[in-house]
Amino acid sequence: MRRSFLSTESRMAILKALLIIASATVLCACASMRDAAGAHAILAVVGAAVVYPERDTGNTLRDATVVIADGRIVAVGPRDATRVPSGATRIDGSGKWLIPGLVDGHVHFSQSGNLYTRPDAADFNAVVPYVQEVARNKARLPATFKVWLASGVTSVIDVGGPFWNFEVRDAAQKSAAAPRVETTGPLISTVALPQLDLGDPPVVKVDSPEAARAFVAREMPYRPDYIKFWFMHQPGDDLAAQEAIVRAIAQAAHAQHVRLAVHATELEVAKSALRAGADYLVHSVFDEPVDDEFIALMRKNHALLCPTLFVRDGYRLALSNQWQATPEEQRLADPQIVAAMRDLEKMPKDKIPARIAKLMADKPATAPPTVSMQNLKKLQDAGIPIVMGTDAGNIGTLHGPSVFREMKLMQESGLTPLQVLRSATTNGAKAMGRDDLGAIAPGKLADLVMLDADPLADTANLSHAVRVIKGGTVYEPRALLETVR
């Protein structure tokens, strides 16, 4: 179910009808549904501890049964009080925890995470031409989809790329093993990146509100899930004039019932974006502490915020040749990308850009992003909805298991494991504009992750997926990854 603009009454009527149909299916056990093992229409996960990330208290139901029919959850309750329909395929959840499928609220499928994916930041065209890198990314999409699922991520939001981003969304919808994908088209911006322009640029510069509205109109036939603005404010720029452009984009998007996502990493720029109508800030504020005015603007807009704490260090580590794969990345990431992350060690020295050679020689220290981490805790305490997102695809931030680096930093910022989990499930569903995801409840889509450790004890346990269920289809991470390698 995509973002709906039906009335509450209409949505409830549709939901009730779906539940009646699904319940009848459970009782009759007469439908059929393929899963990864070619099994049945009705599944029952029996004995797991069900986690409710949307609840502050009473957030775990132990020894529970979850019944799934035709891709939706139709029953959740204590094992001894929840009937398993005759003929259902049972999945033993004893000693396991069941959470909603994770959502990454900030990814880029047009980028791979390797050294060659952003020639505007580090130009390695002499080693791997950018056109070759983009072709690889397109061809490798089935593998990229699988590493997301294997990592327990059943939904992602791509917040900016070329127009072929919409083909990525279509490919995911048609694939048997892919996360749900929402997407935007090119980033509308105050700057251009000609280094990335291969005829379908991921970033398009506009100079006026009229040009901005025209580009929004150009995107609308593709049914974007968001419009994205890349708000790059540089010394000497007219902030008021830029804000007028953002306001024109917001008005044009909102008129078509599409929300506006904005990249704005400085406090004054982020405030300007919010004043102009931003719905989703896809980064935290990095330069200084957020203030009461910022929080008030977030509340006024009912805006969401995605902190992306790791991505900057990803660049620093990779480009100074200090990046090391985590155990989760060694196990779950695309092996082609992991292998390429050490290419600086074997690259001819005359093909390494001077700036990168200096970084390799100096090996600058990296440290957690203190200001943005403090801002995250302040915003969480203020009740601002936080959405977990990685900015995966940028250099050093790999698709899939980068979520575990991100969530570790979120917990180190002072968020509880429950709050981190909520940001990656309940609030991720909000970012997607969907009320059929993000929780384990009757009527929701059956996007679930079975873990072998308690996610409310430590966010590190979120990497312990033993099964991933997407739309009622059951996957084993190891089996998924065997087809990637």
Number of domain units in the chain: 2
Give which of 291, 286, 264, 282 is closest to 388, Cα–Cα.
282
**Which residues of the chain are under the pLDDT cut of 50?**
1-40
Residues 225 and 374 in one domain: yes
Residues 308 and 176 in one domain: yes
Query: Residue 67 pairs with which residues in a beta bridge?
Result: 44, 75
Give domain status of residue 356, yes or no. Answer: no
Give whole-number Cα distances, 272 to 237, 255, 374, in Å: 13, 20, 21
Please answer whether residues 64 and 49 qualify as being in contact, where contact means their C-beta atoms are separated by less than 8 angstroms.
Answer: yes
Query: Residue 262 pairs with which residues in a beta bridge?
Result: 229, 281
**Rounded CA Rg of the chain:** 22
Q: How many CB atoms lie within 10 A of CB 53?
A: 25
Q: What is the pLDDT of residue 4?
A: 38
Give domain status of residue 308, yes or no. Answer: yes
Give whole-number Cα distances, 24 to 14, 70, 152, in Å: 15, 11, 30
CATH number at residue 284: 3.20.20.140
Q: What is the pLDDT of residue 34?
A: 36
Chain centroid, CA 428 distance in Å: 8
Residues 225 and 122 in one domain: yes
Q: How close are the terminal C-alpha atoms of the chain, in Å?
A: 33
d(CA 95, CA 48): 6
Q: What is the pLDDT of residue 20?
A: 36
Q: What is the pLDDT of residue 24?
A: 37
d(CA 419, CA 9): 30
Q: What is the pLDDT of residue 347?
A: 96
Residues 178 and 294 in one domain: yes
Residues 304 and 385 in one domain: yes
Residues 283 and 141 in one domain: yes
Residues 114 and 210 in one domain: yes
The 10 Å CB-count burial string (b at 16+, else e) for 144-183 is bbbbbbbbbbbbbbbbbbbebbbebbebbeeeebbbbbbb
Tell me the angle at which helices 370-381 and 402-412 cross, rounded to the nearest 10 degrees. Answer: 70
Q: What is the pLDDT of residue 460?
A: 97
Q: What is the pLDDT of residue 485?
A: 78
Give whole-number Cα distances, 247 to 124, 161, 188, 213, 250, in Å: 37, 21, 13, 10, 5
CATH number at residue 61: 2.30.40.10
For the segment 26-35, what is each residue's pLDDT rounded down to a tens digit?
Answer: 333 333 333 3
Residues 174 and 210 in one domain: yes
Please answer whether residues 252 and 270 qualify as being in contact, where contact means their C-beta atoms are separated by less than 8 angstroms.
Answer: no
Give domain status of residue 449, yes or no. Answer: yes
351 exposure class (CB count in 10 Å sphere: 0-12, 13-18, 19+): exposed
